[in-house]
Amino acid sequence: MSSWAESSYPSLAAGGDDVAVLPLGAVEAHGPHLPVGTDVWIAEAMAREGARRLRSGGRRVWVLPAVAYAPAPFADDFPGTLSIRPATLAALVEDLAAALARRGVTTLALASAHFDPAQVAALRETAGRLSAAPPPRVVFPDLTRAALAARLGDEFASGACHAGRFETSILLAERPELVDRAAAAALPEVAVALPAAILAGHATFGAAGLGQAYCGDPARASAAEGRALVAKLGEILAEAVASG
């Protein structure tokens, strides 16, 4: 992986058509079985795999240090959640895009693994505004869009996927030492589709019926499924960059 943070400044001289990938996670409650930093590791896995695919196609790609903090009002009632204002995230992405443009980066790809409506709305608006006046071109493969969600399995497509089978599988593949497997195995399925809950006017996990800050079926998670999901996330990111 070509890590921006681990590189010396001479190696970061502009290459003419560089891509920078920004992993965007969150610090929020993810059930009793996953760490609050879950989204950060998922975003980093997506960024790493997407960058690998792009490099195999001949692009020069850098993976930036992850942004761990995010708007997370849905989980804010739970201990451990650290939520920031959407405007803070938007300003950070805008400033970073300008800094990257000065370094010769032509494309900034946002690898977001956090799906709070406040996060998604902030990234949609910011990516659209910045892409109207590049450089850099800002690419945001919004995984909450139906066409992309359908590629990530039935649970993700259903919207009942916060700390469920989808996210637990990826953590089992990426950071297995951080998963409380006994707790995950004991959790019953919570079939609450968050998009429907949001449309119904619910604004927190508790109000939506996620009493332990999870939905979906974490007991059915596996590392093998997690590896397949990471590959799919990387594929989606690489396609989004290549399509522009």
Per-residue model confidence as pLDDT tens digits over 131-177: 998 899 999 999 999 999 999 999 999 999 999 999 999 999 999 99
CATH superfamily of 9-239: Creatininase (3.40.50.10310)
pLDDT digits (tens, 9 = 90+) for 31-44: 999 999 999 999 99
For residue 90, CA distances in Å to 83, 98, 115, 207 come to 14, 12, 15, 27
pTM above 0.95, yes or no: yes
Domain locations in the chain as residue ranges? 9-239
pLDDT tens digits, residue range 196-229? 999 999 999 999 999 999 999 999 999 999 999 9
Please compute the mean of the pLDDT values over residues 47-74 and round it to a whole number: 97
